[in-house]
A and B are shown apart, each in its own frame.
Chain A
Amino acid sequence: MAFSFFNKLKEGLDKTRKGITDKIDDLFNNYGEIDDALFDELEEILIMADVGMSTTLKLIENLRTELKVRKVKEASEVKTVFKDVVEAMLRENNNEPFHVGDVPTIVMVIGVNGVGKTTSIGKIAHMVKAEGKSVLIAAADTFRAAAIDQLKVWGDRVGVHVIHQSEGSDPAAVIYDAIQSAKAKKIDVLICDTAGRLHNKVNLMNELAKVFRIIDREYPDAKREVLLVLDATTGQNAIQQAKVFNEAAQISGIVLTKLDGTAKGGVVMAINSALNIPVKLIGVGEGIDDLQLFDPHDFVEALFSSK
């Protein structure tokens, strides 16, 4: 079980790995001793992986310290130490994988346009349902054209009912309906889709605030999970997205999607250190099963392991 999970993650991260580890292997094979050039190259690799300048500098600093502590002299050993350093930083902020414990739980899924909210909801619903829990989905993205239809298709795929109104209706009203329905049917997990928008912060905040007021009022006993979906292809702007949404809602975790591409997803580390928000799930494809729990060790292993 654990093994197959690891393979699946590795598979999803295959391209990621190819990008970053080839370079790192080149690097460590090319340098006999540890010098500034090696650190410069390392810096470049991390920047190219979207880790961001400040986190990169921090990681390199940690590496330098660790190399001293462990009295490492050989460039070839640096890689192992570096893996540890990266994993340590990931672990600091990612010690709670996604898990629906208490019921009822309400899961709010938020994020900008196109990151994969609706798709992730389909996958999450599938995952939670497989644990034997009853699931309901609320189609509160009433803004994007045909977003409701898209979610309904996912509902059918997963075998989960989708509460919806018409396009353009008030998202808070949809959530209200869904909560009533969840309560009446004693549903374990209610998952809510929302419209992705960033351009107008004021509108976004107002809309989300209103939705949360409804939840406070109508569903105070439900455990709340607020998942921010981030696209691994996104660069440093992901930090800004996390900041903006974190102001509007208390984000409890991140879903990092599209790790099946060549994007490296390093921005996760930047967000971790900037905002202390854990990554809980990763998306590795468009299929119903292409969702994995985020695990720092597997993540780093898959990232660094040679083919």
Chain B
Amino acid sequence: MAFESLSEKLQGAFNQLRGRGKLNEKDVKDAMREVKLALLEADVNFKVVKDFINTVTERAIGESVMQSLTPGQQVIKIVSDELTNLMGKTQSKIEFSSKPPTVIMMAGLQGAGKTTTCGKLGSLLKKQGKRPLLIACDVYRPAAIQQLKVVGEKVGVPVFEMGSDVNPVKIAKAGLEHAIHFNNDVVIIDTAGRLHIDESLMQELIEMKEVVSPKEILLVLDAMTGQDAVNVAEHFNKQLEISGVILTKLDGDTRGGAALSVRAVMGKPIKYACIGEKLTDIEEFYPDRMASRILGMGDVMTLIEKAQENFDEEKAKKLEKKMKNQTFDFEDFLDQLEQLQNMGPIGDLLGMIPGMKNNKSLQGMEVNDKDLTRTKAIIQSMTKKERLDPDLINSSRKKRIAAGCGLHVSDVNRLLKQFEQTKKMMKQFGGMEKKMKRGGGMKFPFF
């Protein structure tokens, strides 16, 4: 989960402050040392960390905090505020030209994920009703053009290419003409990865920029980048004047300090974040949500939005009732599984729930998408009666179910046990629902 470590570390630092009556300067400074370490370990740029710590310390040592009844809470709030400040307060979307096609140019280091991101962005824009065209201008890396073609085909977005023997600037120009001719209202130009210090290759991008007049030049940046991120971003910006950043590989255990740093130093917004390997794993970047995620407060807004996209209102209401009456059965379970699978990787979802990371009952419960498919298979080989009344399932029924889905009885047993746990967990979620209402006004069925 993105930023997990950082938020845990910060929580650790804050726990020392939380609940303490009075704070002295030393308390604050000690906690700030922890914050500093946490930020550095998350690859936040050294200079950014320094500034950040100074600002927060100054505010925290201020009169009103020291004399307040809950100074620890106050310090946490200050850190949270300042972090949000760093990430930029408002969300920025990409801008579309009033006279289409809107030209979007991608740029970045080798291996940052440009080609995949082109496909993801194309797919997203298509969903939003645009008619994008991808232009393959990476003529250097072997099979880069082929890769873009495959990706384009997968998401149903056309790709313009001229092979790898043509000058990229020429390809970009021809691609743009092609787009005008075929009524594509957005073009996304994939370019070869290059080092920011490679002058001739940077010159090529500068020429391309002059020829296609892009509305957006997006720097594709690997979220795992270290201290050099700022350096790279500044170089690209100086030469191309980028309009924003797309952060890739923000999944796994990426801490993403690069995101903080680049935003803080360059002042250019992060517009999208790529959060997984599937071509749908791209989302608009909400800085405030990210800040609260860093702090371990959970990303309730994203979760609720995902839920709203995928949950059937009618079913949700029914389920809520069942949760209350404790009559949740395997039919419902199956339903939930299916809806959940539509929402994306489960691990990501759990991390978005406030307090979930520290939830004892969830720890050690490895959820992965393969398990889900298997679980579905087991439920599907139960009879309707069994699904509605799991108590019916005795050992001969278990054998039949196992045979039906090609698994072992032990798998069936495990599921039955999990189901019981789930029912217990639902009680907890019932409590959380109240908190969620404030955020989105949405009932939240979940298991």
Q: What is the interface of chain A, defined by CB distance below 8 A to chain B?
A: 15, 44, 47-50, 52-53, 112-116, 143-147, 149-150, 152-154, 167, 197-203, 206, 231, 233-238, 240, 244, 258, 260-264, 267, 286
Contacts and interface: CB of A to CB of B under 8 A. Distances in A.
Nearest to A18: B197
B293 interface: no
Contact of A262 (B147, B196, B257): B196
A233 B113 CA distance: 14
A233 B147 contact: no
Does more than half of chain B's interface fall in helix, strand or loop, or is it mixed? loop
Contacts of B41: 52-53, 236
B402 interface: no
Q: 4 tightest A-B contacts by CB? A: A235-B226, A114-B111, A235-B43, A153-B142
Instruction: Give the dominant DSSP class at A's interface.
Output: loop
B227 A237 contact: no
Interface string B275-291: 01100000000000000
B228 A50 contact: yes
B109 interface: yes
B141 A235 contact: no
A149 B146 contact: yes
B189 interface: no
30 contacts: A47-B40, A50-B226, A112-B224, A114-B222, A144-B147, A145-B116, A145-B151, A146-B143, A146-B147, A197-B277, A198-B253, A199-B276, A200-B347, A202-B370, A203-B368, A233-B225, A234-B222, A234-B225, A235-B225, A235-B226, A235-B258, A237-B255, A238-B224, A240-B253, A261-B196, A262-B195, A262-B197, A262-B231, A262-B232, A264-B228
Interface residues on B, range: 35 or more
Nearest to B49: A47
Nearest to B276: A199
* Most chain A Cβ neighbours within 10 Å, of B37, B140, B228: B228
B110 interface: yes
A114 B113 CA distance: 7
Contacts of B40: 47, 52-53, 236
A154 B142 contact: yes
Interface string B85-96: 000000000000
Interface in B171-200: 195-197
Contacts of A114: 110-113, 222, 249
A146 B150 contact: yes
Contacts, number: 145
A16 B111 CA distance: 19
A267 B41 CA distance: 11
B250 to A, nearest CB: 9
B222 A233 contact: yes
B429 interface: no
A287 B370 CA distance: 39
Among A47, A146, A149, A198, max chain B CB count under 10 A is at: A146
Given A50-B228, A261-B228, A115 B46 contact: no
A165 to B, nearest CB: 16
Given A235-B43, A261-B109, A199 B345 contact: yes
B277 A199 contact: yes
B143 A237 contact: no
B161 interface: no
Nearest to B251: A199
Interface in B94-131: 109-113, 116
B312 interface: no
Contact of A200 (B140, B147, B345): B345
Nearest to B369: A200
B143 A48 contact: no
Contacts of B251: 198-199
A20 to B, nearest CB: 11
A158 B101 CA distance: 42
Contact of A233 (B141, B144, B146, B228): B228
Interface string B353-373: 000000000000010111000
Interface string B9-41: 000000000000000000000000000010011
A263 B222 CA distance: 13
A113 B226 contact: no
A149 B258 CA distance: 32
Given A198-B252, A199-B345, A206-B370, 14 more contacts: A50-B43, A50-B228, A53-B37, A112-B224, A114-B222, A115-B111, A149-B143, A231-B111, A235-B229, A235-B258, A237-B226, A238-B224, A258-B109, A262-B228
